[in-house]
Structure formats: structure tokens, C-alpha cells
Chain A
Amino acid sequence: MEPESRVSRRGFMRSAGLAAVGGGVVSGRRLCGTVRAEQTAELKIREYRTLGRTGFRVSDIGFGTGNLTNANVVQVALDMGVNYIDTAEHYVNGQAERAVGQALRGRDRSALFLTTKLNLQFAGASRTEIRDRFFRCLERLQTDYVDCLMIHQTHQVDLVRHEAFHSTARELKAEGKVRFLGLSNHGIEQSWWGRMEVPMEDVIGAAAEDGRFDVALFVYNFLQKDQGERIIRMCRERDMGVTLMKTDPINLYTGIRETIERNEQDGRRVSDAARQMARDYEAYVARAEAFTSEHGIRSEAEARSAATRFCLTNPDVHTICATINTFEGLEAFVALSGGRLTGADGTLLTGYESTLGRYYCRHACGICESACPEGVPVNTIMRYNHYFEAQGRQKQAMEKYASLTANDAGCCADCPGYCESACPYEVPVRTLLAHAHRNLALE
């Protein structure tokens, strides 16, 4: 998700001047009559870090292309000094790679670190197919080589040792088509092939042990830092490059107070835990307001920026792959380059974590679900409640909840809380589930 910009749009606009005629793409198509600009944006990348044993000095803010449709945004990013581009064969069905290829025209290719990914979670991924798909990537990227070829969505240790991939990669390296290898993982999840129970650190750890991988892309943020820091340590010990995704977990529980008030008005029961949560939240808000006023933090976007700075403060993090498709998003992320967690940021995040982190049911965690004798799909219900409270999608959330095929959380209020015993983060899961049930089932 792109954050809000803190940079003057018009100032940014004025910094761009027109020059010779060139080309661009939108929606993956060639656009006619476009005008090439000589970008002289004032915003620049302020820090470069050595990407592990690749030895390449990469910008601390990388360019993630998950929804890329605008090649000219990549061009401006390159002008700003962004030199790490993360793409994949199936981002926008290959059009993201095409947009990157457009943007790279006429550029010094050796000044960029370009990563693409192939998904190998298919039993039939043979050497021939991997090679063929890789060359299609090169064709779309309009380049002779990629700096790093990653295994995409590596959710099983077996994939780390995918011999067809490694034997093909050896050939491609010998041919000068690939310089380094990597892998990506975003945690335990439900997947096409069933539930993957292998923790992120097991997979990345296996890759580090394996020794053939030079770069890893994984999840790290201030609320999910324990596992992330263990992985970062493993990577540092093996001199692997560390690139991050999902660095911003901020989700304000702004609806809690309103929900409690509504339930009280409607004569519904409100648990002590929910009231405590609301009191915590209010205390946090009061502290946060004083704090943000004192330190000039004006918006949630700035708190999100602090979350990014938290990651950049770790010297063993090399680049953050920010998903970018607009100039506004680009400006906001590049403005964070060189950032460190300041005392103010630290206070904000510490306050956030100590007060609300306890209520943060970790994204795609699922550790507690196996402990529930009723088979309540905890992550799914938390997600629906997130729609309800944080996204204002009450109707959709309630419809989804009503259509759950598994048990809902109606049984949670009277349960001893097996999930809470299983949760390593001490999240009051049962209370949150009961709260969610009251929202979603109107009980």
C-alpha cells in the first residue's frame, strides 16, 4: 500500500522539464505521442547498503512492482536513485516486467539490481519449463540478464532444494543470464495446495543452510519483529542480502470505543476485556495525541513512516521493497530513505506496541488455530472484523461471516480460551473473537 505523500506535488511537478520524444506504457501497452522528460526531482535516495555477498550497493528503498502499470513512475524512481527493482513473472501477468523493461531503455543496466521471481509450486516445474519461463522474463524486461532470480512464494522447505531450479540456475549463471539466486516467503498461510505449516524462519533458515541463495525477501515489521530478527541474524551470518516486504502493520483500533458504546446502547453485553481494551486504547490515544503534537506528527501516514524507519534502523536490512505505482507513493517512500528511528518514532512505536501490539493478532499467523477444539478459523474471523471495524465494510464483513462454513466465534465467549494459551504473543484471542462475533453476528 502506498502511503500519503508529504512532498509538495506542485514542487515536484515543477522539477520536471520536457526534453526529447520517447515512449512509455500504460496498462502494458505502447502509448503514442508521449514526451520524454529530463527528470530533475529534488528528492533523492540518501542511503545505499551492501546487499550481502552480492556486493551490490542497493538503495535502502527498493521498487516493488506488484501492481505496476506505469513505466514512467519507474523512470522517475531511477532518476531519484532507486536502484533495486523487485518484480515477478506473474505481477500483472507479466505486464509489470514489461513496464520495467520500458523504463530501463537507455539506462545503464549495470547500475541497477534487478530481481525477478518464478513460482515453482507446481509439481511439473521442469528444467525446460523453468528455463523457458525465465527467458520470457528476460524478453519482457528487455535485458540480457537479471541480477537475482528468486523462487517465488517459497512456503515449503522442499522448494528450497528444487533441483530443477538449481540445475537450471547453474546453467543460466554460466551463460551470464543470472548473477545471484534468492527466495521469497511471507509466512504461514492457507494456500492453493492446502495449509502450509512451515514457519517463515524454517524456510529461510533452510535456504541459508543450503548455501545457494544470496538474497531473501520476507516479512519484518515492528509488531512481528521476533521472527524477522531471527531470520535477519541468520542472513547476516551467511552474508545473504536482506530485502523486506509488509513492513507496515499499523492498524488503529479506532472503532473499539464506538462499538462498545453501540453495544451498550443496544443493551448487548460488553466484556470486561473489551472495556479494558477500550481504556487502553483511549490512554494510548491520549498519550499519542500529546506526543504527536509535541513532535509534529500530523497523521497516521506519519506513524506509518515511523514503521518504515523502524525497519531501516536495522543495519542488516538492505532494502525495503515498497509497492509503488504512482508518483505520490514514490515520493513518500523515497522521502524515507536514510531514515532512522528517532526518539520520537521510538516512543510512538513503543507506545503502539505496548498498548495495542497485545491486541494485534499477527497477520497469517494461525498458531492458535490447531489448539481450538471447535476448529474456529481465528485468522479469517479477525480479518472479517478488520473489515468491519477498520475498513467500514460492515455489510460485507457480516455477509462473509454469515457464510463461514467452519464454526463461527459464537462459542468463544464461554470457552476457557485454548487459543490464548497457545498464542506466543499473549494476544487475548478469545476476547477478540467474542468481540468480533458481537460485531459480525449482531448478537
Chain B
Amino acid sequence: MTTPVKKILPVSLPLAMVALAACAGGNPGFPGIAGWKKAGKVSVYDADSLWEHIDGAAELFIDYGVQTCRTADLSSDDITVIDGLTATVELYDMGTPLNAFGIFTLESSGRGESFPGAVEAVISPPYQALLLKGPVYVKVNTLDGGLTQDNGRSLLTALARALPGSADYPAELELLPRSGRIAGTEGYQARGFLGLTELTRCLYAEYDGTEEGAEPWLGFLMLPPPEAPSPWNDLAGRWESMEHAGRTVLYRTIPYRGLVGVIRTEQGILGVSGAADRAEMLHRLGTFLH
């Protein structure tokens, strides 16, 4: 993944959603992809039927607010260039660019790279390519293992052109502190961040250690839930508490991951993890704040 801060999504989601609906023709259709033709029928799933398509893997998509998944087999019109590739394309409408970004970064293991007309893409011959654009996460599977860098790029380019939505990163990423942030490590986890039920809607990234030779560490911002009280009080009821530099710090130990600590800011709840002791945790929080 390249530097996400370079292009941030303006407030264009409503337009994108309208465009997506228009693209689908207002029905469970599949957008036309230039140079590719649909083979077989289009299938459409929603949050509660997605398991019928991908079984247990659906749970993660539901956590990320999947709205619909449209699938179709596409085959290339140009067999000389594309070598007759047939691919199964899954279009996951995740509702928001942030949700789509979150599941894309999870499923691509952070290997995404910038891609023309889209936010990011990953081509992983011979079976799979992934694309992120606006609120849509695209998975391309080639069941016969025929995917190459070239035909994968050709198909992703056509998909990027056909799909509505912004090619910018979700605006929320701007909320993560920039100083020390390691480009390409950003992600978003909707639930169970670090294995903790209480950590939801967490943007995260790795940050450089301030001292020479220091290990990078993980910083995160817990976004406030829409139309619900701040989770701060819930955390305060569960975690240990201490005062530091005029602020309340909540913290706890995570098995195999050291200490995690959070403070409350205007943007949300800022946190650091992986600290060996309280001193390191407080140092990281201080660095993160400034």
C-alpha cells in the first residue's frame, strides 16, 4: 500500500452510492465491463444470505457492514490478449469507503498498491486479484489458475473504469496522527481489535520508534460509534486507570501483546499497544499525541 494520505476522499459518498445503484440498474444486476462478457447468471447476496455464498467467511463481511455481494463469471472478449481468461468477479458493496478499505486491507494483508482509477489493487497470480474503489471491494478469482499480471491488470482496469465511487482513501484516515506514521501500514478493524471486544471501529497504523533501533509500534484511533455514547465510559469500567500529564490513561494487559493504553481526545480515543511496561506505554502515548 502506498501513502494513503496523499489523496483523501471528499464527501462524495452519497453520489457514489447513487452512481452504484444506477450502475446496477436499480436491480440486482452487474455492471457492464468493457471488453468482458458475462457468462452465466448474476447472483446477489446480502448480509444474511452471504453465508450461502462463502459460508463461515461471511462473518467478517457482516462485521464490516456488507450490503450486497454481486457475483458473475466474466470472460474476455479478446482471447489473443487475455488468453481466454474466465474469472469470477465478486463485487462487495460495503456501504462506506471506510468499511471497504478495512476489509480490503485485512484480506490483502496490506499488500495493496495504488492503481489507476481505483484506491488500491493487488494482483496475485495465478488465482486472485483484489481491487478497492469507493465503498466497493472487488475480488477476482480465477478458478483454473489462469491469472497473470497482465490479464489481471487488464481486468482490474476495466472494473475500475466501470465502477462508480471515489479513487481516494477514506477521509477518516486523516484522523490518524501523521508524525511517525509508517506509510502503507494503515488499516481499519471494525470489531475485536487486538482481540478485545471493547475495541471497535479502530483505525490503526504502525509508527516509528522515536529512539534509534526502537521497534515500530501500533497506534490506533477508536472512532466514536454513530448515534451512540462514547465507548470511553465502557472502557473505564473495564480497564485500569491512571493519571498522567493531566489526562486520564486507561490501560490493560493483552496476552502476548503487552500493554495497551488509551486517552481521550477530540477526534476519538487514541491508543498505543505492544508496550512492555507502563513507562513505555506512556512514552508512546506522548509521542502519539504530539
Interface positions of A (Cβ within 8 A of B): 2, 5, 9-10, 13, 16, 18, 22, 24, 26-29, 31-37, 39, 41, 64, 66-67, 69-73, 75-76, 79, 88, 90-95, 98, 122-126, 128-129, 132-133, 152-153, 184, 186, 189-192, 245, 323, 325-329, 364, 380, 383, 387, 400, 405
| Contact of B34 with A by CB under 8 A | no
The answer to whether B56 and A245 touch across the interface, beta carbons within 8 angstroms, is yes
Task: With both chains docked as a complex, state the minimum distance between the C-beta of A392 and any C-beta of chain B, in angstroms.
Answer: 13
Does any Cβ of A come within 8 Å of B60's Cβ?
yes
In the complex with contacts A26-B189, A34-B257, A35-B276, A91-B215 CB distance below 8 A: no
Most chain B C-beta atoms within 10 Å of own C-beta, residue among A9, A29, A98, A380 = A29
- Whether the Cβ atoms of B256 and A24 lie closer than 8 Å is yes
Partner of B274, one of A32, A129, A323: A32
The answer to whether B206 touches A129, judged by C-beta atoms less than 8 angstroms apart, is no
Q: Tell whether, in the assembled complex, residue B145 and residue A132 are in contact, meaning their CB atoms are under 8 Å apart.
A: yes
User: Which residues of B come within 8 Å of A, CB atoms?
Assistant: 27-28, 43, 46, 48-49, 51-60, 63, 71, 105-110, 126-128, 130, 139, 143-145, 185, 187, 189, 191-197, 204, 206, 209, 214-218, 238, 252-259, 273-276
27 cross-chain CB contacts under 8 A: A16-B255, A18-B253, A18-B276, A24-B256, A27-B204, A33-B215, A34-B274, A41-B255, A67-B57, A69-B192, A72-B257, A75-B256, A76-B255, A79-B255, A93-B139, A122-B143, A132-B126, A132-B145, A153-B55, A184-B55, A192-B43, A323-B56, A326-B191, A327-B196, A327-B197, A328-B196, A405-B28
**Complex partner residue of A91 from B52, B53, B56, B128, CB under 8 angstroms:** B56
Inter-chain CA distance A134–B109, complex, in Å, is: 19
Q: A31: shortest Cβ distance to chain B, in Å?
A: 5
Known: A37-B255, A326-B195. A66 touches B57 (CB 8 A): yes
User: What residues on B are CB-neighbors of A36 within 8 Å?
Assistant: 256
A26 nearest in chain B by CB position: B194
Using A192-B53, A192-B71 as known contacts, say yes or no to A32 and B217 having CB atoms under 8 A apart: yes
In the complex, the chain A residue whose C-beta lies closest to that of B258 is A35
Knowing A72-B195, A184-B55, say if A28 contacts B144 (CB, 8 Å): no
Q: In the complex, are the beta carbons of A129 and B255 less than 8 A apart? A: no
Shortest CB distance A133–B (Å)? 7
Contacts of A125 in B (CB 8 A): 143
Instruction: Tell me the complex Cα distance, A9–B252, Å.
Output: 10
Task: Give the distance in Å from the alpha carbon of A9 to the alpha carbon of B238 in the complex.
Answer: 7
Q: Chain A residue with minimal CB distance to B27?
A: A405
Residue on A with the closest CB to B215? Answer: A33
Whether the pair B59, A129 counts as a contact (CB closer than 8 A) is no
Q: Are B52 and A190 in contact (CB under 8 A)?
A: yes
Find the B residue at minimum CB distance from A90. B57
The answer for the CA separation of A93 and B61 in the assembled complex, in Å, is: 11
A70 contacts B107, C-beta separation under 8 Å = no
A29 close to B109 (CB less than 8 A): yes
Q: Contacts A67-B60, A327-B254 known; list 19 others, CB within 8 Å.
A: A26-B204, A27-B105, A27-B110, A34-B273, A36-B256, A37-B256, A37-B257, A66-B59, A67-B59, A69-B60, A70-B194, A70-B195, A71-B256, A76-B195, A189-B52, A190-B52, A323-B59, A326-B191, A326-B195
Given A69-B192, A122-B143, A125-B143, the answer on whether A190 and B255 have CB atoms closer than 8 Å is no
Which chain A residues border B145 with CB–CB below 8 Å?
128-129, 132
